[in-house]
């Protein structure tokens, strides 16, 4: 049987180097020795070198080991935006043998409570700006150890005092909170410096991080990413980009949030492995400030996604930057549109390399080769990875036929935390992970995503799950029935649209949205609401989301309330937040109108 009709399994190049490291700690320790005098992370005008990362993470690890009752395997939530404390805390926690639970710093109390309880979190490091929300849920969790940090805590004096003072007293960005047992992160590091961190023999199969995702359903689940999973993805990225990037030379812009698996792996892990310099951007929603930072930074690598690229390309000050040193632009998190790719190339003189991944694959699974990228495809499997597309019965299909994309490789998660049934539905006995995305393997081996089997909505690279939205909205006293779907949106790729059956005609769409904002993170809040007399259902009473989603009028404001216009703000941008409360949102302020294109990362 010819290749054109034979079942197809595509496999990347062999993966080298896995046997050299047992844990992430081994890789980071070696990197800190090899690149000790090189810059590792910069943020808000201050730089930590590799020796600083090693020293400070050692202090945090020593505190956790010597001053708490935490034991290897316990979970610690890191709830920070892109600040210098993030890598210090992550690597310190891993050195102590703890499991890192990356947590969005702008989660609502409801979202925090679910994640902390589900993961069994016992310790948390939170930015002072969000500590008031932690106060409200703390007694409903198993958290025993609370650490609070401010924006510039790792900056030298007097810059530390100046930045923290402006954030707290001028911009009023730190609401009052009461956490009597909390310890400041600076005090923790100072006390930890008096002790030595003990070596923890973490193994490859030990869980390093719980990365929360909805998986193929709407219930937020913790993907168990092991040391081996994350090491594999580091090495896969290194092997793929090794001919393009030089060790210890590159400066990588990191505007996407470190708590997101994309940046967590690429900037916090891969870049550390190869001795690169990361520029942490706490708030790229401030596009003018972001461009100003770029103008002072001779960057060589830019890691972003479609909405951010599009926002930057609208600005003359960005297009006026010097891109002569730029070697590589990487896109992930959401589909890269051809229009935006062309705009980026026109503005910078360089193309974009697009990849594909999932939280469950640590995340990178496929990527376009930098020297042979095909816009509109997600490329080919990375080293050590196999892919196939299958029909509804799980049979592998030949090239050119549409089916569900399945992935197998060392970066595939161990499973979902405490959810064996969900794990079994996602990963089969042979190790194939079902992505829920419909794809075609082209004749040249490149892969194109053509549809989504699951109902997940992708808002600026962030997963939004209809089940969660509907559960929240259905609890509103004036809502009888609700369905949430994704509709096309020029700014965010997709936006959330609600179809609501109300008890009477008095339900106000804007009031419903404001109600949603109290219960959900910004990127989940609906952008459109359409009131209906009834919703389409199957013969067994299941609401037919696809029928609603496929209606040609979706996105037409003549038939639905466009709620971002009503509220005078943009929603669902890149990082999934209305604004970055750590930098430019004053608690209690109403939404502000902005005329510029914005992309939010917290």
Quote the mean pLDDT of the chain: 88
**Any idea which of 33-37, 391-395, 593-597 has the lowest mean pLDDT?**
593-597
**Residue 559 maps to a domain:** yes
Say how many domains are in the chain: 1
Answer yes or no: are the C-beta atoms of 567 and 510 closer than 8 Å. yes
Look up tokens 């229009």; give the residue: 339
DSSP symbol at 396: B
- pLDDT of 602: 26
101 - beta bridge partners? Answer: 77, 210
Q: Does 578 score more than 60 pLDDT?
A: no
CA distance 162 to 169: 10
> Could you report how far apart the first and last alpha carbons of the chain are, in Å?
53
Element (H, E) at 122: strand 121-127
Confidence band (pLDDT; 50, 70, 90) for 232? very high
**Residue 507 maps to a domain:** yes
Long-range CB pairs of 84-87 (<8 Å, 24+ gap) are 84/41, 84/43, 84/46, 84/48, 84/154, 84/155, 84/280, 85/125, 85/149, 85/153, 85/154, 85/185, 86/258, 86/259, 86/268, 86/280, 87/40, 87/41, 87/48, 87/53, 87/57, 87/258, 87/268, 87/272
- pLDDT of 546: 81
CATH of the domain at 535: 3.30.300.30
pLDDT tens-digit readout, 366-410: 999 999 999 889 999 999 999 999 998 999 999 999 999 999 999
- pLDDT of 5: 64
Over residues 17-22, the mean pLDDT reads: 91
- pLDDT of 328: 97
273 to each of 26, 155, 404, how far by Cα in Å? Answer: 10, 24, 33
565 to each of 398, 561, 568, how far by Cα in Å? Answer: 46, 9, 5
Confidence band (pLDDT; 50, 70, 90) for 90? very high
- pLDDT of 354: 93
pLDDT tens-digit readout, 134-159: 999 999 999 999 999 999 999 999 99
Percent of the chain with pLDDT over 90: 74
**Residue 557 maps to a domain:** yes
pLDDT tens-digit readout, 541-555: 578 888 898 887 765
DSSP symbol at 135: H
**Any idea which of 239-253, 379-393, 524-538 has the lowest mean pLDDT?**
524-538
Helices (H) and strands (E) in the chain, counts: 19, 28
What SS3 class is residue 481?
Answer: strand
- pLDDT of 544: 84
- pLDDT of 592: 25
**Residue 441 maps to a domain:** no
- pLDDT of 549: 87
pLDDT tens-digit readout, 198-208: 999 999 999 99
**Any idea which of 30-44, 354-368, 490-504 has the lowest mean pLDDT?**
490-504
Q: Does 569 score more than 70 pLDDT?
A: no
Pairing of strands 183-184, 145-149: parallel
432 to each of 10, 168, 224, 382, 415, how far by Cα in Å? Answer: 13, 49, 16, 15, 12
CA distance 122 to 146: 9
**Residue 526 maps to a domain:** yes
Q: Does 263 score more than 90 pLDDT?
A: yes
- pLDDT of 182: 98
CA distance 435 to 253: 29
**Residue 560 maps to a domain:** yes
**Residue 147 maps to a domain:** no
Over residues 560-569, the mean pLDDT reads: 43
Q: What percent of the residues of the chain are helix, what percent strand, and what percent coil, each to the nearest 5?
A: 30, 25, 45
**Residue 544 maps to a domain:** yes
Q: Which of 481, 475, 494 is nearest to 531 (CA)?
A: 481
- pLDDT of 541: 59
**Any idea which of 63-67, 283-287, 578-582 has the lowest mean pLDDT?**
578-582
DSSP symbol at 427: B
Domain that holds residue 469: 462-567
Q: Does 582 score more than 50 pLDDT?
A: no
- pLDDT of 551: 85
What SS3 class is residue 245?
Answer: coil
CA distance 254 to 322: 18
């Amino acid at each position: 049987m010819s290749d054109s009709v034979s079942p197809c399994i595509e496999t990347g190049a062999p993966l080298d180097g896995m046997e050299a490291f047992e844990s992430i700690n081994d890789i980071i320790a070696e990197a800190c020795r090899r690149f000790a005098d090189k810059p590792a992370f910069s943020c808000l005008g201050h730089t930590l070198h590799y020796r600083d990362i090693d020293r400070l993470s050692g202090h945090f690890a020593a505190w956790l080991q010597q001053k708490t009752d935490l034991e290897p395997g316990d979970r610690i939530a890191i709830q920070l935006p892109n600040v210098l404390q993030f890598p210090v805390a992550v690597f310190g926690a891993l050195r102590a043998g703890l499991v890192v639970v990356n947590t969005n710093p702008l989660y609502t109390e409801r979202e925090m409570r679910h994640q902390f309880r589900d993961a069994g979190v016992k310790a948390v490091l939170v930015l002072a700006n969000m500590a008031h929300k932690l106060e409200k849920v703390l007694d409903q969790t198993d958290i025993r150890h609370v650490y609070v940090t401010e924006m510039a805590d790792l900056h030298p004096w007097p810059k530390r005092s100046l930045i923290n003072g402006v954030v707290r007293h001028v911009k009023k960005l730190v609401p009052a909170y009461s956490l009597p047992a909390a310890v400041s992160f600076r005090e923790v590091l100072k006390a930890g410096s008096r002790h030595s961190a003990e070596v923890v023999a973490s193994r490859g199969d030990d869980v390093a991080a719980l990365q929360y995702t909805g998986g193929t359903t709407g219930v937020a689940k913790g993907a168990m990413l092991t040391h081996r999973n994350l090491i594999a993805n580091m090495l896969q990225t290194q092997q793929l980009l090794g001919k393009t990037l030089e060790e210890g030379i590159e400066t990588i812009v990191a505007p996407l949030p470190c708590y997101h698996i994309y940046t967590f792996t690429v900037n916090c892990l891969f870049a550390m492995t190869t001795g690169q310099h990361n520029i942490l951007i706490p708030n790229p929603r401030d596009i003018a400030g972001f461009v100003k930072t770029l103008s002072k930074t001779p960057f060589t690598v830019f890691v972003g996604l479609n909405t951010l690229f599009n926002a930057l390309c609208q600005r003359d000050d960005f297009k006026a930057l010097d891109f002569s040193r730029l070697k590589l632009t990487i896109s992930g998190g959401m589909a890269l549109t051809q229009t935006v790719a062309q705009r980026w190339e026109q503005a910078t003189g360089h193309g974009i390399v697009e990849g594909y991944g999932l939280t469950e694959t640590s995340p990178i699974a496929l990527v376009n080769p930098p020297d042979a990228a095909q816009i509109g495809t997600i490329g080919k499997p990375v080293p050590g990875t196999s892919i196939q597309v299958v029909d509804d019965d799980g049979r592998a299909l030949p090239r050119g036929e549409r089916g569900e994309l399945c992935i197998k490789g060392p970066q595939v998660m161990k499973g979902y935390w405490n959810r064996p049934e969900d794990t079994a539905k996602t990963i089969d006995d042979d190790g194939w992970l079902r992505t829920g995305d419909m794809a075609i393997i082209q004749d040249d081996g490149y892969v194109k995503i053509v549809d989504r089997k699951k109902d997940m909505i992708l808002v600026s690279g962030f997963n939004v799950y209809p089940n969660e939205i509907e559960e929240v909205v259905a609890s509103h006293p004036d809502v009888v029935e609700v369905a949430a779907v994704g509709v096309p949106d020029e700014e965010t790729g997709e936006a959330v649209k609600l179809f609501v059956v109300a008890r009477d005609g008095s339900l106000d769409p804007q009031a419903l949205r404001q109600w949603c904002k109290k219960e959900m993170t910004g990127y989940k809040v609906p952008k459109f609401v359409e009131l209906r007399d009834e919703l389409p259902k199957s013969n067994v009473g299941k609401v037919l989301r696809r029928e609603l989603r496929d209606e040609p009028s979706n996105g037409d404001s003549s038939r639905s309330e466009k709620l971002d216009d009503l509220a005078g703000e943009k929603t669902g941008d890149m990082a999934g937040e209305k604004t970055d409360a750590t930098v430019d949102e004053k608690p209690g302020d109403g939404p502000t109108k902005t005329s510029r294109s914005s992309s939010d990362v917290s």
